[in-house]
Amino acid sequence: MTTLGIAGLRTQARSWNARVRQRVWRLAPGDLDRVVLHHSRIFILPTRRGLALMATLATMLLTSMNYALSLGFALTFLAGGMVAAGLLATFRNLAGLAASPLGAGEAFAGGDLEFTLSLASGSRQRIGITVAGRQGLPNSVDLPPGATRPVALSIPAPKRGHLGLGRISLSSDFPLGIWRAWAYVHFPLTGTVFPAPEAGAPPLPPGRHGSYVGRSSRLADTELAGLRDYERGDALNRIAWKAVARGAGWYSKQFEGTGGGGMLELHWLELPAGADTETRLSRFTTWILAAERAARPFSLHIPGTVLSTGQGAAHRRAALTALALFPPDDR
């Protein structure tokens, strides 16, 4: 009974502790939608310059006390009043600012993944709002009153897989640079990082001739090989618009690469046995990009995922995402 009670208290204390930690540090992505910054979220501390200024004011105060300089007190307190008013101004510059998540981009490992937020200034002007993630360059914006602006934030993406935006900080040291106010916001924004393309990968393997490839002729890469029936998802720039304009129906243009035309089957087991998982994923990434450039339809067969033959941006993204999320080697 008592042990249960104590245990209950302990769990309660732990959850309370967790709530406080979340409230202060925002370590979990708890901000599901638009966040309006107000006093419970905004921290404010003096900057280094602010500390130096306050130390000077303290020295001035001591001097005024020692020499009984009434006007010294007056000067010190006037400057101190300005510092205090600066604190409020810095706070006001951040308070009432609204941030919403807009979206996450895509990137290849080793590149930068771009996240987009939107900042709404509300009723007042916002100056020098710095948006910073865990890593990467912070982004600084000014907003006129009543404005809503997208703000992009690039986060380095070293590894394939999912990449969360993580906790970001919105900060400002306007107007005097002696106080820095900041607020943590943690949106559950996540982007996908595709495997890095393999440098010096072998050329695309020869494809198998599919049913509709027969109409094509073998020509140099990027030369028009022929037309095929339009399929949903084909890129707009591949549509044979002249044919559409003539009323001949919907066709897509097909281009020919040197590596052999036709449908491509990317098969996990067809890669050299010595290659490790990451190399295989990188090579597939390279090939998928090459196939897309060459406008060759491809299918993907990797353990756990099979993508049937297809083409176009959606297909490509599905294939790359499958590669990105492939479970890493346990060894």
Partner 1 sequence: MIGKQASPPLTPVQVAWLGALLVSAQWPLWGHILIWNAVAGAVLVFARVALPPQWRALTRHRRWLLPLLAIAGALGIRTELGYFVARDPCVQFLYLLVGIKFIESRDTRDGTLLICLALFLSLTQFFYLQTIGAALSTVPVLLALGGTLASLRGGAPAAASDWRALLRSTTRLILQGIPLAALLFVLFPRLAGPLWGSPTEAGARSGLSDTMRPGSISELSLSDAVAFRVDFNGRPPPPAQRYWRGPVLSRFDGREWRAVYKLLPGKFVPRQVRPIEYTVTLEPHGKVWLFALEHPSALPRSPGNDPLSPAGNEIAYLTYDQQLVAKAAVVQAVRYTQRSSLRDSYPGTDDNPRESLQLPRNNPRTLAFAKEMREGVDSDRAYVNAVLKWFHNEPFVYTLSPPLLDRDPVDGFLFDTRRGFCEHYAGAFTVLLRAAGIPARVVTGYQGGEMNLDGDYMIVRQSDAHAWTEALLDGQWQRFDPTAAVAPSRIERGLGAALPAGEQVPYFARLEMTWIKSLRLKWDSVNYQWQRGVVGFNIERQRDLLAGFGLEDARPWQLVAVVAGAVFIWGALLLGAARLRRSRVDTEVVLWNALCSRLGRAGLARAPEEGPLAYTRRAAKRWPQWASVLARIGERYAQLHYGPLDPRRDQMIEELRTGVDALPRPRALNEASRSTSAAKESPETVE
Q: Which stretch binds partner 1 (CB under 8 A): 23-31, 171-179, 233-241, 322-330?
A: 171-179
Q: Which stretch binds partner 1 (CB under 8 A): 84-92, 153-161, 189-197, 300-308?
A: 84-92
Q: Is 26 left (phi over 0), alpha (psi -120 to 50) or beta?
A: left
> How far is 223 from 113, CA to CA, in rounded Å?
33
Specify whether the backbone of 254 is left (phi greater than 0), alpha (psi in -120 to 50) or beta: beta
Q: How many CB atoms lie within 10 A of CB 14?
A: 10
* Contact range with partner 1 by CB under 8 A, out of 6-14, 75-83, 156-164, 184-192: 75-83
Of 116 and 130, nearer to partner 1 (C-beta) is 130
Does the protein bind partner 1 through residue 11 (CB under 8 A)? no
Question: Any residues with CB less than 8 A from the CB of 261 and at least 6 apart, and which?
Answer: 207, 213, 216, 218, 225, 296
User: 58 by DSSP, 3-state: which?
Assistant: helix
Whole-Å CA distances, 66 to 24, 62, 70, 202, 245: 42, 6, 11, 82, 92
Run of H or E including 129: strand 126-132
Q: Check the CA dihedral 85-98-182-150 and report its sign.
A: negative
Among 174, 251, 284, 326, binds partner 1 (CB under 8 A): 174
Candidate segments 76-84, 154-162, 216-224, 318-326, binder of partner 1 by CB under 8 A: 76-84
Work out how close the CB of 270 gets to partner 1 at its nearest, in angstroms, rounded to a whole number.
50
Among 29, 30, 89, 111, binds partner 1 (CB under 8 A): 89
Whether 46 and 54 have beta carbons less than 8 Å apart is answered as yes
Nearer to partner 1, 64 or 285 (CB): 64
Among 8, 103, 138, 146, binds partner 1 (CB under 8 A): 146
**Could you say whether residue 29 binds partner 1 (CB under 8 A)?**
no
20 burial (CB, 10 Å; 0-12 / 13-18 / 19+) is exposed
70 near partner 1, judged by CB under 8 A: yes
Is residue 82 close enough to count as binding partner 1 by CB under 8 A? yes
Task: Assess 37 for contact with partner 1 (CB under 8 A).
Answer: no
In the complex with partner 1, the residue whose CB is nearer, 48 or 218, is 48
In the complex, what is the shortest distance from the CB of residue 135 to partner 1, in angstroms, rounded to a whole number? Answer: 14
Closest CA to 183 of 139, 132, 138, 143: 132
Q: Does 7 bind partner 1 (CB under 8 A)?
A: no
Contacts with partner 1 in 49-68 (CB under 8 A)? Answer: 49, 52-53, 55-57, 59-60, 62-68
Hey, what are 318's tokens? 């599905």
| Contact call for residue 209 and partner 1 (CB under 8 A) | no
Give the per-residue SS3 of 11-42.
Answer: HHHHHHHHHHHHHHHCCCCCCCCCEECCCCCE
- Comparison of 49 and 317: residue with beta carbon closer to partner 1: 49
Contact positions toward partner 1, by CB under 8 A? 48-49, 52-53, 55-57, 59-60, 62-86, 88-89, 91-92, 123-124, 127-128, 140, 142, 144, 146-147, 173-178
